[in-house]
Structure formats: structure tokens, C-alpha cells
Amino acid sequence: MFLDLEDLNIEQLLEKQIELRKKLSQAHLTGMVGVTSQIQNLLDQVSIEIRTKTAQQAVEKERERKIDNGEDPDDDTLNIG
């Protein structure tokens, strides 16, 4: 099962996570072992994407903070060009 998560924002990812948790619970209750492992894999993918996007937002906020303070946002970046 493939799930395209790149175009979703964090709020949409959280909604998807809730939806998948509900489906996982239903699959557990009905004893659908194969389906539960697939849904768990999807939940893991969503969690990874949430962590990735949260980290990206933190970097972007730090960059904006540096710009607002008149600092060079790329001061801690090695430029080999």
C-alpha cells in the first residue's frame, strides 16, 4: 500500500494519522492481522513525515528569526562555491 504524503501539511498529516489509528483499531477488533501490519506501516510513514515537516518548519523559523534580527541566516553554512 502506497501513501503519498508529500503534499500534505502537518495538520492534514495529523488528521490522516487519526484516521489510520481508527482503522487500525477496527482491524485489531476484527482480527485482521495482515491488514493491521499494513496500517501500522502507513502510520509509521505518516509519523516520519510529521517529524520531517516539523523539523523543516523549525529550520525555516530559525532562518526567519535570523533575518528579522539582521543576522546572516547562512552564517553557519559552509559555502564551497
The rounded distance, in Å, linking the Cα atoms of 54 and 49 is: 8
Q: What is the pLDDT of residue 75?
A: 77
Taking the domains of the chain in order of start, what are their residue ranges?
Answer: 10-67
The alpha carbons of the chain give a radius of gyration, in whole angstroms, of 19
SS (H, E, C) 14-31: HHHHHHHHHHHHHHHHHC
Tens of pLDDT, residues 10-61: 999 999 999 999 999 999 999 999 999 999 999 999 999 999 999 999 999 9
